[in-house]
Amino acid sequence: MLNIEATSDFSSAEELKKAILRLVAFFDLFEYPLTPLEIRHYLDNKVAISRLSLALDELSASAGAIRLDSSDGFYFLPGREETITTRRKRHNYSQRKIKIAKKIGYFFNLLPSVKMIAVANSLGGYNLRDGSDIDFFIITSARRVWLSRLFCAGLAKILNRRPTAKHKRDRICLSFYAASDYLDFSNLNLPGFDPYFYYWQRSLIVLYNKEEKYQEFLAANGLPGGKLGTETKKSFFFGDYLEKVVKNWQLRIMPAPLSSQNGQDSGVMLNDGIIKLYLLDRRREFLKKYEEKIRPLS
């Protein structure tokens, strides 16, 4: 299988068309047809617009197996025109959810150690389901990830915005924190190619961004638009001590299903710089479905 990110130069027209087709096939898993500008964005802007337009025209006009359908400015797999309606509905749902996220995120952002807040797990952006909760990805200052989690999770609890088994719609899910000195996520990828995580990083909806931490995150992961940071790690004895106490306390009260998975799978990580609490990590499932979709093209 040819990895999506490996097609960097597109030296031939056929290589470019297969890269486009693989890209559209992946986002089809999430019922998300793509515009030409989005296709170019997810190809890291490594192809000229004129060349991309020609490739899309050829894919749309083709009668063979390697082809795409298009309508209303969107490109999608043959017979999947209904995904346009799904995308538009979810865009409306997402607008409501983003407004809620900004209101709650405003209070999180008041904490000096919270450096960036983004809505995550919305592959393609603004692709949230009506009944879903709202996943946050938060970057904190160095050595303050556990204190930041205590503040954010505690405040969300006070505001009655935490999801429960019965109530998830528009609730805030706080399952991913990273300290600013732990922004290289290469060790979080599944072995081999991890398309979900690859595009997860490109689909974040940034709500608040202090000191260009989002740009530092991009740089740490080799993504376009990145900018190396200049943060100086300052040592504050009381703050460092409190961070350690808060970390140990939170680990003690962590539900057993989560704490038992720490270090066993990339879905759950609990250390000094990463708090990742995805007990149900569906990336392997998405990878299998993606490989099935593109197998006829290989």
Kindly list the domain boundaries of the chain, sorted by start residue: 4-80, 90-282
- Within 10 angstroms of residue 263's Cβ, the number of other Cβ atoms is 10
Rounded Cα distance between 16 and 2, Å, is 12
Name the residue among 223, 226, 199 with its Cα closest to residue 283. 199
- Give yes or no for a contact between 118 and 205, defined as CB atoms under 8 angstroms apart: yes
Integer Cα distance of 135 and 288 in angstroms: 24
CATH, domain 4-80, list 1.20.272, 3.40.30, 1.10.10, 3.10.350: 1.10.10
- CATH class held by domain 90-282: alpha beta
Alpha-carbon 83 to chain mean position: 20
Walk along the chain (298 residues) and give the pLDDT tens digit of each residue.
334 444 456 778 888 998 999 999 999 999 999 999 999 999 887 888 999 999 999 999 987 778 899 999 999 999 999 999 999 999 999 999 999 999 999 999 999 999 999 999 888 889 999 999 999 999 999 999 999 999 999 999 999 999 998 999 999 999 999 999 999 999 888 888 889 998 999 899 999 999 999 999 999 998 888 887 766 566 677 889 999 999 999 999 998 988 888 877 778 999 999 999 988 888 999 999 999 988 876 6
